[in-house]
Chain A
Amino acid sequence: MKKRITGVLAAAVLGMAAQVDAADYVVDKQGAHAFVQFRVKHLGYSWLYGRFNDFDGTFTYDEKDPSKNKINVTVKIASLDSNHAERDKHLRSADFLDASKFPTATFTSTAYKPTGEKTAELTGDLTLHGVTKPITIQVEHIGAGNDPWGGYRAGFEGRATIKPEEWGIAMAKLGPASQEVELFLTVEGVRKDGKK
C-alpha cells in the first residue's frame, strides 16, 4: 500500500515536471508588478490615461517552443480608475462599460507568433461589454531571470489598439477623435513551480 502511494506520488511529481517544461506563471498582482492601462484621446487634443486596478491572470512561457506561449487575463471593470471619481462613475455606468451588467473583461490568447528576438504577435479573444472579438497584441519580452527572493520571473509588455464601438460601447458620443483606445498590458509573472 505504502509503495503504491509513493508510486502515485512519484508519477504525479513527474507529471508536474513534464508540464512545467513550458513553465506556468502567475501574474504578480500581489506585488503589483502588473498593470492594465489604457489611453484615449480627449477631444483630439491630449491623451487621457486610465487603468484597471483589479485583475488576475496566468500565462505559460516556453523559451524553446514559443507556440506553447499563452495567457489568460480577467479584468474587473468596476476597478476602472482615471483619477477622477465623477468620470470613473460615468465610464463604469450603462452609458459606457456597464460594469454592473458586464462585470469582467477577459483576454484569452489563441496564438503566439514571434516577430523578432524579443517581439511577437499575440492573437486572442477579448471579451468586453458582453462581446467577444479577436484582437492582436504586439508583445515585447522585457526580460526573465531569477529574482532576489528565490523565485523566477518573466515579464512582458503588450500593446493593442481597439475600437470599443465594435464591442458595443457607445464611443460615438465622445467624438470622432476618441474612437480608438490603446491598451497596455504589462505583466510580470512568477513561475509556479519555483524552478530556476
Chain B
Amino acid sequence: MSFWRSNERSYSGFAKLLHWISALTVVGLFILGLWMTGLTYYDPWYRRAPDIHKSVGIALLLVTVIRLIYRFSVPYPGSLPSHSKLERLAAKLAHAGLYVLLFVMFISGYLITTAQGDPLEVFGGVQIPSLISGIDNLEDLAGEIHEIAAYTLIGLAVLHAGAALKHHFIDKNVTVRRMTSGK
C-alpha cells in the first residue's frame, strides 16, 4: 500500500507510523510521569525526568497536530461494513475522545509550568512563552486535570485496544490488520 494514501483495506504507512508513535509515546509519557512524580528531591533524575517529559510531550503535540491535519486531508479507511451501528458509534466516540484527551493533556501540562508567567522550556533551550497567567492556583488546577486526564486517557486507550483485539480474535475481521500489516 502507498505510504501516503490509505484505502478501504489498509491505513497508509504514514498513518500507521503516526498511530504507533502516538501509542508508544502516550504509554511512555504515562509511565515516565508516574515515576518522576515519585522521585525524591536528591534523586539525579529529579530535574532531568520532568525535562524529558516536557520535551517528549511537546514533540507529541506536534505529531498530533500533523496527524489531525493528515487525518482530515486524505481519504480515511472508515469502519468495515460488518461493524454494527453501535460499534461504529463507539469507535467514533472513542477516537474523538482520545484526541480530545491528548489536547487536554498538552494544555494542562503546559499550564502547570507556565501558570505564573514562566516559559515552558523544551529540547534544552526552546522557550514556549506563558499565555495565561495571573489566575490564583491555576497550576494546582492544571495539575489535577493533568492527572485525571492521564488516567482517563490510558483507560480509554485500553478500551480502544480491547475493542481492536475483539475484532481480531472474536470477529476475526481485518480491522486490526489494517493498522498492523506491512502490506
A residues with CB within 8 A of B: 78-79, 83-86, 88-89, 92-93, 99, 173-175
Question: Which of B41, B50, B136, B143 contacts A89, CB < 8 Å?
Answer: B143
Q: How far is the CA of A83 from the CA of B114 in the complex (A)?
A: 11
Distance between Cα atoms of A173 and B46 in the complex (Å)? 12
Would you call A88 and B41 a contact (CB within 8 A)? no
B22 at the interface (CB under 8 A from A): no
Given A78-B137, A78-B140, A79-B136, also A85-B41 (CB < 8 A): no
Q: Please give the residue numbers on chain B whose beta carbons come within 8 Å of chain A beta carbons, in ascending order.
A: 40-42, 50, 112-116, 118, 136-140, 143
In this complex, which of B42, B118, B140 has the most chain A Cβ atoms within 10 angstroms of its Cβ?
Answer: B140
Contacts of B40 in A (CB 8 A): 173
CB-based contact B41/A174 at 8 Å: yes
Chain A interface mostly helix, strand, loop or mixed? helix
| A83 to B115 Cα, complex, angstroms | 10
B139's partner among A79, A88, A173, A174 (CB-CB below 8 A) is A88
Q: How many inter-chain contacts with C-beta < 8 Å in the A-B complex?
A: 36
Report the minimal beta-carbon distance from B141 to chain A, rounded to whole angstroms: 10
Q: Provide the residues of chain A in CB contact with B113, threshold 8 Å.
A: 85-86
Cβ–Cβ < 8 Å partners of B138 in chain A: 85
Q: List 22 A-B contacts (CB under 8 A).
A: A78-B140, A83-B116, A84-B116, A85-B112, A85-B113, A85-B116, A85-B118, A85-B138, A85-B139, A86-B112, A88-B116, A88-B139, A89-B112, A89-B140, A89-B143, A92-B137, A92-B140, A93-B143, A99-B140, A173-B40, A173-B42, A175-B41
Q: What distance in Å separates the Cβ of A86 from its nearest Cβ neighbour in chain B?
A: 6
Q: Is the CB of A84 within 8 A of B41?
A: no
- Complex CA gap A33/B42 in Å reads 38
Name the residue of chain B whose CB is nearest to the CB of A174: B41
Whether the pair B116, A173 counts as a contact (CB closer than 8 A) is no
Specify the chain B residue showing the minimal Cβ separation from A82: B116
A residues near B41, Cβ cutoff 8 Å: 173-175
A93 contacts which chain B residues (CB < 8 A)?
Answer: 140, 143
Q: State how many angstroms separate the Cβ of A149 from the closest Cβ of chain B.
A: 29
Q: Which residue of A lies closest to B40 (CB)?
A: A173
A62 to chain B, nearest CB (A): 37
| Shortest Cβ distance from residue A87 to the other chain B in the assembled complex, whole angstroms | 9
Known: A85-B138, A86-B113, A89-B112. 20 other contacts (CB 8 A): A83-B116, A84-B116, A84-B118, A85-B112, A85-B116, A85-B118, A85-B139, A86-B50, A86-B139, A88-B116, A88-B139, A89-B143, A92-B137, A92-B140, A93-B140, A99-B140, A173-B42, A174-B41, A175-B41, A175-B42
Please, how many angstroms separate the alpha-carbon atoms of A89 and B114 in the complex? 12
